[in-house]
Amino acid sequence: MNQYQTTADLIKKARRVTAFTGAGISAESGIPPFRGENGLWNQYDPQSLEIDWFQRHPAESWRVIHEIFYSAFAKAKPNPAHLTLAEFERRGILKTIITQNIDNLHFEAGSQNVLEFHGNSRELICLECGNRILAEKMDLQKLPPLCKICGGLLKPDFVFFGEMIPEPTQTLSFKETELSDLFLLIGTTGAVMPAALIPQQAKRNGATIVEINPEESSYTRAITDVFIQNKAGESMQEILKAFDLLS
């Protein structure tokens, strides 16, 4: 059996399948990952996404945020990896996706049970009055965007460095590590805490770990049971094809 067939067989036999995704699953949608040779953190300083720096330098921070999340990449579309996960959910095989991504592509692919560990870039929130507004409803040519109700500073509703992980998302994500017996780890370096703890917790709780990544990650030699060293799009399509060939 090749690794796609092995993974399909594991999915078939699993009691509860969970996917844990990172920026790499969206690479084939045209959104560069954060780390690695063409990583965003080679082009931009991650401090733009630190909450206290953002509050002290809102215009400068928003210039970076707009370039990364609200210009070219905002038009990105789901790729076969997102679509295959949505198909596995539709068939009642994949229970939950825990994603570190804020690009909304899992929802756009049709997945419904998605825990967005780092929030989502869809909405902006006012740091003064808490008013929420869809980013697409704001003119992001004028930065920083200000609340139409109170004039306060608007912030994308995703988790900045130094901010807490939203609840109940964090609790539900760690709960998933107790219930799941098969974790599909797709496109993540495992570089950022506390998200990076989730696959480790799943392993400790007895889950089998299948990792899909063209390169080794911090998980590969530590917890990964099946390492598919390939891109997410082709790998997920091959796994679905192998799954459909099982009796």
CB of 211 to ligand APR, least distance (A): 9
Residue 106 is among the residues annotated as catalytic for this protein: no
Query: Least separation, in Å, of the C-beta of 144 and ligand APR?
Result: 20
Cβ closest to ligand APR, residue 28 vs residue 157: 28
Q: Which is nearer to ligand APR, 147 or 196 (CB)?
A: 196
Q: Given the complex with ligand APR, which of 39 and 166 has the nearer CB atom? A: 39
Q: Per-residue b/e over 20-38, b at no fewer than 16 CB within 10 Å?
A: bbbbbbbbbbebbbbbbee
- Residues in contact with ligand APR by CB under 6 A are 22-24, 27-28, 33-36, 39, 100, 118, 187-189, 191-192, 212-215, 217, 231-232
CB of 225 to ligand APR, least distance (A): 18
What is the rounded distance in angstroms from the CA atom of residue 125 to the CA atom of residue 239? 39
* Cα separation, 96 vs 111, whole angstroms: 9
Q: Phi-psi bin for 58: left (phi > 0), alpha (psi -120 to 50), beta?
A: alpha
For residues 28 and 37, give the distance between their C-alpha atoms in angstroms, rounded to a whole number.
15
State the catalytic residue, choosing from 66, 82, 106, 118: 118
For the annotated catalytic residues, the residue numbers are: 118
